[in-house]
Amino acid sequence: TTRKEQDNNHCCPEAMRVSYAVSLQVPDTICQKKALGRRICSLCNKTNINVCDIHEDGYRMPPMLPHNCPFPSCNEQNWKQRNDDTPEIVLRRMQHFRSTMDPLLSYYENQRRLIKFYPLNGVDDLPVLEKLVRETIEFGQTSL
C-alpha cells in the first residue's frame, strides 16, 4: 500500500493527490463495543442505529437512535443485530484493518501529512474535525 501511495503521488495530477490522511484515534475496546452495538430495524431497514452508550477514558459516545421514522413501531423490539457482528468477527475485522492501514498511516506520519484526531464526543466532534482539516490544509499544520 505504501509503495502504491508513493507511485500515485508521482503519477496523478496534483489536484488528485492526497494532501493529508486523517486517523481517528479511538481505543480498540471502544471500537469493538460500538461495532457490537450496531442494529438494523426489521421494519424500516435503517442501518445507522447503534445502541451502545460509551462513557469511558474521556470518550462520550451516546447511542445513535433513529429519528423521524415513518414506522411508529420502529423501536428496540424490532432492531436486530447483524449476523456478522459477533465478537470474533469484529475482532478479525479490526485486525485486518490494522494490518492494512498501519503501513499507510506510517507513510503519512513519516511525511508529516497525518492528522490524528481524537473524537471524544463521537459524531458530535465532526465540526471540530472539519475545522482541523481545513486549518491543516490552509496552514500546513498537523496538530490543533
**Comparing C-alpha atoms, which of 117, 141, 139 is closest to residue 129?**
117
Of 54-58, 119-123, 136-140, where does mean pLDDT reach its minimum?
A: 136-140
Summarised one tens digit per residue, pLDDT across range 35-59 is: 999 999 888 887 789 999 999 999 9
Average pLDDT over residues 66-71: 76
CA-atom Rg of the chain in angstroms: 18
Contacts of 51 (CB under 8 A, 6+ apart): 37, 39, 63, 65, 76, 79
Mean pLDDT computed over every residue of the chain? 87
**Which residue matches cell numbers 411508529?**
72
Residues 119 and 125: beta-carbon distance below 8 Å: yes
Residues 116 and 129: beta-carbon distance below 8 Å: no
pLDDT number for residue 116: 96
Q: Residue 141 — very low, low, confident or very high, per pLDDT cuts 50/70/90?
A: low
pLDDT number for residue 118: 97
Give the ranges where the chain is alpha helix by DSSP (H). 2-11, 28-36, 87-110, 126-139
pLDDT number for residue 7: 54
Average pLDDT over residues 97-101: 95
Whole-angstrom Cα distance, residue 25 to residue 118?
5
Task: Provide the 8-state DSSP code for 14.
Answer: G
Summarised one tens digit per residue, pLDDT across range 5-28 is: 555 555 667 777 888 999 999 999
**Higher per-residue pLDDT: 69 or 37:** 37
pLDDT number for residue 144: 44
